[in-house]
Amino acid sequence: MPFIPFALERWQSTWEHQVRINLSESGVHALSVGELLALAGETPAVLADKRLVYSQSDGTPELRRAVADLYPGAAPEDVTITTGSAEANFIACWALLEPGDRVAIQAPTYMQIWGLGDNVGARVTPFWLRPERGWEPDPDEIARAITPGTKLVVVTDPNNPTGHVLSRAARDLIVARSRAAGAWLLVDEVYRGAERDGVTTPSWWGSYERLIIVNGLSKAYGLPGLRIGWILGPPDLKRPLFERHDYTVIGPSPVSDYLASRALAARERIFQRTRGILNANYPVLADWLTSFGGLFDWRQPDCGAICFVRYRSPLPAPDLVERVRAELGILLVPGDHFAMPGHLRLGYGNPTRELEAALEALRPFFSRLPAA
């Protein structure tokens, strides 16, 4: 069958390092090595003697223990360290999905697993977060999407691109429907820790016997360049995941593994930094959006450095963001990359002055947009 490219990552990979200001990111601006080690109470000198050998391929025992300690009842043997949460999602789908399998996916969402399902020949059914319900899903739609014969259910909580945290009622219903269907439930928790109110979203870990948790250091931690993620699941899933990991990247860099363990030791201090950035920057973005009167419609995000907005203009979002890139050197993400035309995902995790400069440069463009 023809290969279906990953539209969001093609867009970002092509342009994110060739623009003047990047507002396509969904995490806060990254920490430096020195800043990370300072938060962990160490200095960069500790890296000088690190041998650039092959590290333990599923993560060193120290790092796997640090990850397991985040999840009550988990053991290091339940953890596989991956190259970002993207590899974790990939090896999970490789282990579980076959042509014809049914996959239920919360949408809108980061479209990696949807695309992996399409490319393997699975049948994907979305259940949508509804803006009229405050980005909560419709319970009846959940019931229609997760039925006997569903192989895999996929949730991102907190959500990308909406920044919404699911209610307890929605979580409980998704778990109940997954259990009734005998489906695997994969929950991507990579935005946990980036809640603006300072209350970390409870993990789904422990809620279901066929649960897979994916997470990593890219978003809430501001450490995307470490390329460290992880995946946890039942003991009988560890070997299939680890075997597929052998075929992808073999293992993490020893420097990344070490720095990841330091990041987890400084977790609360890093989250405090992240939330400080978000709480300083969101009012800047909200004031800018409001200043256009009725052009934009959005719901305040609970979590993450992302705001998903609907705009009232006939100009299609892919054309809009291409014009912004070409004319202004600023990168935005069209809602079409989340199967939501007429929307934009705006990142606001940049340094505050950079965000202000980008928004000011964007003002004339959006002021001239033709009205719907």
Percentage of the residues of the chain whose pLDDT score is greater than 70: 100
Q: Is the pLDDT of residue 372 over 80?
A: no
Question: pLDDT-derived band of residue 1, with 50, 70 and 90 as boundaries?
Answer: confident
pTM over 0.85: yes
Mean pLDDT of 311-331: 98
Question: pLDDT-derived band of residue 203, with 50, 70 and 90 as boundaries?
Answer: very high
**In angstroms, rounded to a whole number, what is the distance separating the alpha carbons of residues 24 and 332?**
5
Residue 35: CB atoms within 10 Å: 13
Cβ neighbourhood burial of 356 (10 Å; 0-12, 13-18, 19+): middle
Confidence at residue 65, expressed as pLDDT on a 0 to 100 scale:
98
CATH number, span 7-32+269-367: 3.90.1150.10
Which residues are CB-contacts of 360 (< 8 A; sequence separation ≥ 6)?
none
Q: What size, in residues, is the chain?
A: 372
Confidence at residue 371, expressed as pLDDT on a 0 to 100 scale:
81
Mean pLDDT of 311-329: 98
Whether the CA torsion 8, 13, 16, 18 is positive or negative: it is negative
pLDDT digits (tens, 9 = 90+) for 138-197: 999 999 999 999 999 999 999 999 999 999 999 999 999 999 999 999 999 999 999 999
pLDDT digits (tens, 9 = 90+) for 67-104: 999 999 999 999 999 999 999 999 999 999 999 999 99
Confidence at residue 231, expressed as pLDDT on a 0 to 100 scale:
98
Q: Do domains 7-32+269-367 and 45-267 have the same CATH topology?
A: no
Q: Class of the 45-267 domain?
A: alpha beta
Tokens of 71: 């999840």
Residue 323: CB atoms within 10 Å: 12
Domain range list for the chain = 7-32+269-367, 45-267
Confidence at residue 283, expressed as pLDDT on a 0 to 100 scale:
98
